[in-house]
Amino acid sequence: QKEVEQNSGPLSVPEGAIASLNCTYSDRGSQSFFWYRQYSGKSPELIMFIYSNGDKEDGRFTAQLNKASQYVSLLIRDSQPSDSATYLCAVLNTGGFKTIFGAGTRLFVKA
Amino acid sequence: GAGVSQSPSNKVTEKGKDVELRCDPISGHTALYWYRQSLGQGLEFLIYFQGNSAPDKSGLPSDRFSAERTGGSVSTLTIQRTQQEDSAVYLCASSFLPGLAKTTDTQYFGPGTRLTVL
């Protein structure tokens, strides 16, 4: 079992729809969770981080965390073609010394 | 500097040659990470430096790979006797002390070095 698992996609949604990206992790003691966006040929950049169970909203983005289920998700409302990228889930492991990245989910937003 | 810098941006080398890749982290960041990303693939963790602690080398794929961090700042990743399978983008990231406070965990990535081994 991989430490951080994501569906590789591609996930295709029409413009204006909600894109839902999911991530599960194996280290039950993990405390910090991140979503990074990576455009083709570019480096990853942070979108959001979340530490507490529940939802955290930032503009069109909402991160959701459920520690009991070891599950974190990212919702993108009113998806735009410019949101087309690979989304990487990252988890800071127990002890807080190493961040583990998932393989990423490719998102395509069709105009 | 304003962000993480890496050099060179591109490196083409012949199989069997040694290469050195450099990373200059954000000033004040104590944690430094090296990752490798092959075309269309996710991030592969290579090595992690945290302050003066012994580095976490658990991700290095072979003994041809080594890294050092001098003075707690600049880091150099060295690949000896390069092979074609070493061709990838090598990304460096830095952060404040992870785990100390939740606001310090975010990693900031450099632009990467694209390595091509012919």
- For the segment A57-110, what is each residue's pLDDT rounded down to a tens digit? 999 999 999 999 999 999 999 999 999 999 999 998 776 667 889 999 999 999
Ordered strands of the A61-66 beta sheet: A4-6, A19-25, A71-76, A61-66, A54-58
Chain A interface mutation, best of B33, B58, B107, B114, highest count of A Cβ atoms under 10 Å: B107
Contact B13, B77 (CB under 8 A): no
Rounded mean pLDDT of chain A?
92
Q: How confident is the model at residue B30 (pLDDT cuts 50, 70, 90)?
A: confident
Encode pLDDT of B67-103 as tens digits: 999 887 899 999 999 999 999 999 999 988 665 555 5
CB pairs under 8 A between A and B: 59
Question: What is the model's pLDDT at position B117?
Answer: 97
Contact A46 B107 (CB under 8 A): yes
If one compares B39 and B65, the residue with the highest pLDDT of the two is B65
With tokens 């081994």, the residue in question is B117
Query: What is the rounded (10 degree) CA torsion for B11, B15, B17, B22?
Result: 30
Contact B99 A45 (CB under 8 A): no
Contact A95 B110 (CB under 8 A): no
Query: What is the rounded (10 degree) CA torsion for A52, A57, A60, A64?
Result: 30
Instruction: Give percent of chain B above pLDDT 70.
Output: 92
Q: In this complex, which of B35, B105, B112 lies closest to A32 when CB atoms are compared?
A: B105
Q: How confident is the model at residue A29 (pLDDT cuts 50, 70, 90)?
A: confident
pLDDT tops 90 at residue A1: no
- Cα(B30)–Cα(B21) distance, integer angstroms: 19
